[in-house]
Amino acid sequence: MGTLFLRRGLVALFAAAVSFGAITQAQAETLRIGYQKYGTLVLLKAKGTLEKRLASQGIDVKWTEFPGGPQLLEGLNVGSIDFGVTGETPPVFAQAAGADLLYVAYEPPAPTSEAILVPKDSTLQSVKDLKGKKVVLNKGSNVHYLLVRALEEAGLKYSDIQTVFLPPADARAAFERGSVDAWVIWDPYQAAAEKQLQARTLRDGTGIVENLQFYLATKPYAQQHPQVIKALVEEVRAVGEWSKANPEDVTAQVAPILGLPADITLTSVKRQGYGAEFLNPQTVAAQQKIADSFYQLKLIPKPLRIQDVIWTPPAKVATAP
């Protein structure tokens, strides 16, 4: 009798071990993607093509929305997501803070999809007029570099203005209340402020910043799952090419997801850059210039080498079917 109980106990223990292993494997095969209220990842999520492509490999996809790039990269840094998209500046701050990340790919320039806005009845007519004024923005976001470059162009120092750091929703509230003089923001928040508040553009990125979007992954995930990363970039590129050719269809698809009217969404969609590519030397050099600028302004504590955190796709990678 004792032997029978022992055998049953061993069988139960073995079953529990197998079950635990299956759970652990399932967790390991979940791709966790961070996205924001804009960009090609929103479109990819809406179309569902990535889920279909990765399902044959037993990989689930989990999506998490973030209010801005800095918050998304904090999620990546603490291990709550494996992959995400941000503007140019957040990865610089994240790398300076020691985040274990890699640049995977980028989208073409979209300089008009970020801007310095002022209220419709503001007396400010140029960036020069911002001297001594309160300017609200999300610290470490893509628009942080737009502000730096716009001030340089106008002959002002960064210290000539008063920066107020708030995430987009709180920044908009401050802007509407009149407690700040200008708001540096990106789409679709930018388009919403233009349409709903009749906010006026003091300066967008044209001629001074490219406003690239970067796809990033945790270093361990990119190194361990190159075939998934490659599949991801291919799906992002395909959705981007479709979106570029079909802005109205894109708008109909994502406006309900964003909770925004169609006209605001369409403006954002048309100002986006589409066509994800792996990084090239020119893109790395441009990102290095941003990192150097923030170090010189003492906004990050140490100089960085962007080249040290670029993911290179293997020459031969088995592409996900």
Tens of pLDDT, residue by residue over 171-183, are 999 999 999 999 9
Average pLDDT, the chain: 89
Q: How confident is the model at residue 313 (pLDDT cuts 50, 70, 90)?
A: confident
pLDDT for res 68: 87
pLDDT exceeds cutoff 50 at 26:
no
Tens of pLDDT, residue by residue over 195-218, are 999 999 999 999 999 999 999 999
pTM above 0.95?
no
Tens of pLDDT, residue by residue over 64-76, are 999 888 899 999 9
Q: At what angle do helices 40-47 and 226-245 cross, to 10 degrees?
A: 100
Q: Which residue has the higher pLDDT, 37 or 256?
A: 256
pLDDT for res 230: 93
